[in-house]
Structures are given as structure tokens and as C-alpha cells.
Structure 1
């Protein structure tokens, strides 16, 4: 008789699945473990580092990028409806115009680092009857700041001017200055000035025309280079002689190509 063989099987009971716990990301865990005061201190530290770097880059940028406009152009454009302004490179500006601007506004332009200490001492001795701003300072004012005399503006100008001297070439400073300076009601830059007042491009300005344009820079809204008063005509003659002297003394080496 055949023996019946039996196989004993053990059925394993299925264990109930455990509920998965939500995992916390490392970043969230790290940030939650950092005290708020420490996070604020870290943010303040990066602000102290990043803000000066950003400002430095912003001040240095016009050394290679032409400023599209200035605050004065914008405000005058709103007041008048429009302004005349066309940017021209230094090569398109007559060298005599470059020298005339320097002779009229800053004869020691190539010799100082942004501040003419001799002119400042002279202005103080004269009780402020005349200004001592260099072309660099005026460029800073025209490009980055606003017009008018105020201590906050002068303080910012004093801070920005050395940075400009450090990061821009003298030739670039003069180029920007001649392209953003105001030469009359709604007339900005030497291209618009030469065409408006004398009907010629800036490359064709004569020594007399260049000197006439240079002497109106301190007060362009009330002076007409094509119709100078006897006093301004004498001043223009001095500027023309000064421009010739600057060329003879090689004081134009820092800005002439």
C-alpha cells in the first residue's frame, strides 16, 4: 500500500506596511537650524560686500559704455519736450575744441588726479567768487548726479571723482564731458552745439568757434557763442591763446590720440 506523503507548508503572515514619513530636504533642515539673527548677520555681511562692488562697477561702466542720457538731459527733456543730443567719438571732435575746453575749464587737467588743489586754495582765498571744479568733477556731476550747489551733491562728487580717475582714462573723461555738457537751452553735447550755433560738425570747428563754445560752459542758458558780449569775447581770446599754449607745452598728451 502506497504511503501518502504530506508536505507541510507554512504561510507567512503579511505584515502591514509602515506609513512613510515625509523626508526633510537638507537645505530646509539647514536653514531651519540656523538662528534668525545669524541669517540676518550673514545677509548684512553680503550687502556690505556687494553694494560697494555694484557701485564700483556702475561708476566704472561709462569708461567703455556711452551713457545713454543723464539726469539733466532727462529733466530738461521733460521741461522742454525734447533735447538735441548726438554722441560723437573723440576722433570726430576737433583737437582745438578739446584743448579749448581744457583751457577754459581746467588748464591742469593732465596734471591732477581729479582735484586741482591749487585752484581750490585760490577759490577759498577769493571767498568762493569763482569755482574750482575740474573737468573730472564736472563729468561726475553731469553723468551721475544733479545740478545745483548742495553739500550732499558735493560730498558724493568727492567720493566718486577718485574712482573715475582710477578707472577712466583722461581721454575718456574729456570725451564724455564734451558729449554730455550743456551748450544752450536743450542743447547737449558738442555735436549738437557745433551744428546749432555754427552750422558745422564738431570736427570742423575753428579755433575761434571752439573758444566761443568753451566760454559759455559755465552758464550755457544765458550765453550765446555766436553773439558774445565784449567781456566774453575777451575771455574767448584768452581761451584761444590758452589752447595754443597747452599744445606747445604738451599739456594735451593725456587726451590727444
Structure 2
């Protein structure tokens, strides 16, 4: 029993060390990514290895059409400007409906995409819950949205809004119009099953709703935290 106890203590010490190193790396990267642009993620690297190809080009926030930013927020996180990383109203609505997903904010998605792995699991959700407040504390809302738009997947092997705009419409991210922006937002969160350039009836209806939502959050001030 004494040997088992010693072995258990040895394992526990190593687990603590690993977690300490992990969170130290995350803390440094949260500070670093507030200034420096993340160029890849675990998922992007995995997809590039699987497909042997990838389209991804980083663009600064000023090089993205404002309507694209508003469309992404309208589609994925309408209360982006007024929450601290977790939308408690949306979470309560999901719980009341008896659902298990659908309340992840843009901030949470950025944390998952940049720092963690895509597969849903309780350990990943726990880490996401711990890292998200740190990102919200250190990064501006504008920076969070900039990283989100640049790292999200829009089609198989197509990452970031610049690559998506060129892939679907042959234009730059800055030249996207309201309809194109709404369609790009409408393919989320299932970009491999939806098309922005040849939209299904579902995508078309969702895009129309997003277009209205983008106009609404502009009027009511819910875009103020990332608009000039």
C-alpha cells in the first residue's frame, strides 16, 4: 500500500507540473496573441496534413468589410458586445429547451480554435471555460472578432474570411457586400455541408435573417464594441 501511495503521489506531482506548464504557456500566448497574429491552429494543421492543401490568408480587421463583422456577430453571438465571454441569457434558453449545444459565444469559439481541439469533451469545455475569461480580460472585443474571422473554417480547406471571400465570390474580404457577408456567416457552423456561392434554401433563409440581424445590431448599438 505504501508503494501504491508513493506511486500515486508521483503521478499527482507530474499532473500538477504538466498543468502548470500548460497554463503558463496559455497565459503567455494570451498576452502574445493580443498583439501578434496566430498563424495556425491544431485543427488547421491537421486539415492541411489530411488534405495536403489549404487556403488561408490573414488580414487585419480594417481589411474586412464592416458588414462581414456585423454578419458574423448577428449569426453566432448577437450579444457579443455586452457579455464577458459567456452569454448567460443564451445558456439559460438552451437549458430551458433541453438542448446540449448552441450557446457558445464567439469568444469561446476563438479559445477552442486557437488553444484547444475541436472534438467535444468535458475536459475541453472545462479548459475553454477557464481560458475564455482571460482572453476577454486581455484582448479587446475588436481583437477577439478579428482573430475569429481569420481562423474560422468556411469550406473544406478554406480558413479565414479573406480566403473565403476569394473562394466563394472572387473578391477580397474588404469588398464583400451585405448579401455575400450574410451568406458566408450562414454557412457556419457547418461549412463542409453548406455553400455560400450555391446556397440551399436553408442557407438562403438563414442569410436573409442574418442580413436583417446585422442591420439591427448596427442600429441598436450592439456593434459598438468593434465598430470605429
Q: TM-score over 0.5 for the alignment?
A: yes
2:66 aligns with 95
Q: How does 1:20-99 map to 2 (within 5 A)?
A: 52-99=23-70
8 A Cα contact 2:61 2:146, kept in partner: yes
Structure 1 residue 60: Cα displacement? 2.2
Structure 1 residue 47: Cα displacement? 9.7
Distance 1:55 1:144, change over 3 A: closer
Cα deviation, 1:65-113, whole Å, max 9, x if unaligned, reads: 1012101110000000021000000000000000000000000000000
Aligned-partner Cα distance in 2 for 1:237–1:54: 42
Structure 1 residue 128: Cα displacement? 1.5
Q: Is 1:148–2:119 an aligned residue pair?
A: yes
Aligned-partner Cα distance in 1 for 2:26–2:159: 26
CA RMSD between the two structures: 1.9
Structure 1 stretches of 4+ with a deviation exceeding 6 A read 46-51
Structure 2 residue aligned with 1:227, among 185, 189, 198? 198
Distance 1:86 1:50, change over 3 A: closer
8 A Cα contact 1:211 1:237, kept in partner: yes
8 A Cα contact 1:60 1:163, kept in partner: no
Structure 2 residue aligned with 1:126, among 97, 104, 111? 97
**Superposition TM-score, scaled by structure 1 size:** 0.79
Aligned-partner Cα distance in 1 for 2:64–2:118: 25
Distance 1:132 1:47, change over 3 A: closer
Segments of structure 1 that go 5 or more residues without pairing to the other structure are: 1-45
Distance 1:47 1:134, change over 3 A: closer
Aligned-partner Cα distance in 2 for 1:135–1:100: 12
Structure 1 residue 51: Cα displacement? 6.8
1:139 aligns with 110
Cα deviation, 1:22-48, whole Å, max 9, x if unaligned, reads: xxxxxxxxxxxxxxxxxxxxxxxx999
Structure 1 residue 184: Cα displacement? 0.3
Aligned-partner Cα distance in 2 for 1:101–1:191: 14
Aligned-partner Cα distance in 1 for 2:109–2:21: 27
Aligned-partner Cα distance in 2 for 1:169–1:95: 17
Segments of structure 2 that go 5 or more residues without pairing to the other structure are: 1-16
**Superposition TM-score, scaled by structure 2 size:** 0.89
Distance 1:86 1:128, change over 3 A: same
8 A Cα contact 2:26 2:115, kept in partner: no
How many pairs does the alignment contain?
A: 213
1:205 aligns with 176
